[in-house]
Amino acid sequence: MTKLDQFHSAFLAADKTTLHYEKLAVEHVLVVSDLDGDAAGELLNRVRTFLSVVDDDGTRWARLDGGGFSSVKQLLDAVDEQAPDLIVTYRHLHSSAWQWPHSLGEYLDVLTQATRVPVVVLPHPDAARALPHALKNTERVMAITDHLDGDDRLVNYALGFTEAGGRCWLTHVEPTSVFEHYLDVISKIPEIDTESARELIERQLLKGPHDYIASCRRRIAERHLPYEIGEIVAMGRRLGEYRRLITEHSVDLLVINTMDDAQLAMHGLAYPLAVELRQIPLLML
C-alpha cells in the first residue's frame, strides 16, 4: 500500500457522516382498511392512540374503508387524491391470505412501491399475532438497516415516531454471509493477509454506523430533544438477529426503508422483514 493511499484512507475515514436533523411534520394521516362502519372507526381510534406522537391539533385523520376500493388502482387513485403524509394499513387487504405468512398481499405490495408516502403496517386485526405490548404506544422505536450511516431520512422518521422520553434504537446489522463470502475470496489472494483483512474490514464496517450514531447523539443533545438513543451495530444473520432484538427490547415500532432506486421491487432487506415480522407495527419508508 502506498503512502498516498494510506493518507487518503485516513482522511476519508476521518470524514464522518453526520445527522442533519429535521423535525417530522405529519399533517394528514390516511387509515386504509378492508373494514367498514364501526369496525373501521374503532381501528382509527386505536391507531390515533397508538400514534399519538404524531397527533396534534393540526393533524387531519381520514379513513379509506373497505367499501371505498376494490382494486389496486382504486386504492392508488384514492391515495393520490387525498395526498396524505402517512398511510396506516395492514397486510392482505380484502384477502384471507393473512393466514399464511408468505406475502404482504397485492394492495400493500404495490402501495409501498407506487407511492413515496410512508406506510405504517399494523399486525392484521384478525391474526392475533401482535405481541402483548404492540399497538399501545411508540416508546421504543427501532430503525433497522444494513446501511445506517448517512440515512438521515430513516433516522429522522424513527426519531419523529418516538414518544418523548422514549428510546430510539438505531441498528445496523452487517450480513455475516456476505462478509464471509468476500473473506473467502480474499483468502485466495496471496497479496492480501486474510487475518488482517478480516480484522480491519470488520472494524471499518462497524465503525461507520457507530460514528454516525455518535453524531445522532450529539445532534439530539445539542437540540435538547427528549429521546434516548440506543445503539446496535453488529455482524449477524439479519432476520434472526432482528427477531431476537425485537423481543429482547420489546420494540413498539420498526422503521425500515423499502424503496430501492435501482429496482421497482421492494428493497432487498425490507421484503423478508415485512413478511416475517408480523407481530409488531412496521413503518415502511
Partner 1 sequence: MTHDPQSVSGAVTAGFALLLVAMILCLALEEKLHAKKSVIVAVFAVVCLLLGGLLHLLPFEEMVVVVGEEHIALPIYIPAIDWGVVAIILGSSLFVDITSKSGLFTWIAIVLTKTSRGDPVRLLIFYGVMTVAFSAVLNNVTAMIIVGSLTAVSLGRLGIGDKLLGFLLVEGLLTNVGGLLTLISSVPNIIVGNAAGITFVTFFSKTAPYVVVVTGITIWLGAKVFDIRPLASDEARSEAAQRVSGFDENDGIESRFKFTFGAVMLGAFIVTIAAASIPDTVLHSLGMGYVALSFAVIMLVQYKSIADRFYQAVDWDLLAFFAALFVVINVMEHAQVLALIGRGLAPILELGDTVGPSTLLFSSAAASSVTDNIPLAAMLAKILGSLDLAADSPYWWAVIFGANLGGNITPIGSASTLVAVTIIHKHGLELSFVGFVRAALPFAALQLVLAAGYVLWVL
Residues that bind partner 1 (CB under 8 A): 3-4, 7-8, 10-18, 20, 211, 215
Helices assigned H by DSSP within 51-137: 72-82, 106-114
Min. distance of Cβ 170 from partner 1 in angstroms?
A: 17
Q: Are 246 and 142 in contact (CB under 8 A)?
A: yes
Q: Are 67 and 155 in contact (CB under 8 A)?
A: no
* Measured distance CA(130)–CA(66) in Å, rounded: 22
**Nearer to partner 1 by C-beta: 18 or 103?**
18
* Measured distance CA(32)–CA(79) in Å, rounded: 9
Min. distance of Cβ 2 from partner 1 in angstroms?
A: 8
Min. distance of Cβ 134 from partner 1 in angstroms?
A: 37
Q: Are 173 and 246 in contact (CB under 8 A)?
A: no
**Nearer to partner 1 by C-beta: 192 or 265?**
192
Q: Are 72 and 104 in contact (CB under 8 A)?
A: no
**Nearer to partner 1 by C-beta: 60 or 218?**
218
Min. distance of Cβ 136 from partner 1 in angstroms?
A: 38
**Nearer to partner 1 by C-beta: 148 or 266?**
148
Min. distance of Cβ 212 from partner 1 in angstroms?
A: 10
Task: Name the residue with cell 429535521.
Answer: 22
Q: Walk across the sheet containing 253-256 and list its strands.
A: 60-64, 28-32, 86-90, 119-122, 282-284, 253-256, 140-145, 167-175, 228-236
* Measured distance CA(267)–CA(285) in Å, rounded: 10
**Nearer to partner 1 by C-beta: 4 or 262?**
4
Which amino acid is residue 205, in one-letter code? L
Min. distance of Cβ 213 from partner 1 in angstroms?
A: 14
Give the distance from CA 253 to its chain's centroid: 9
**Nearer to partner 1 by C-beta: 23 or 188?**
23
